[in-house]
Amino acid sequence: MNPLATVLALALAAWALADALLLLRREALALEIGPSLGRALRVLAVPLILGNWLYLLLGVR
């Protein structure tokens, strides 16, 4: 199983559930981040993706 895809799917499911509950009150979730946090998240994404590829290539079980 792909660990990065699993984490992203769980995060998306949680977001969808929260957004569906807020829809009843005619509200919605919004994600706003500052420039420094955005830069940090982009930098963090690279080792996460590379680590995920390495995990999949090595066939770790």
2-56 pLDDT, tens digit per residue, is: 889 999 999 999 999 999 999 999 999 898 999 999 999 999 999 999 999 999 9
Over 70: is that where the pLDDT of 61 sits?
A: no
* φ and ψ of 24, to 5 deg: -60, -30
Tokens describing residue 44: 């963090």
What residue ranges do the domains of the chain occupy?
3-58
- Asked if residues 49 and 57 have their Cβ atoms less than 8 Å apart, the reply is no
Enter the pTM of the model. Answer: 0.71
Question: Has residue 60 got a pLDDT over 90?
Answer: no
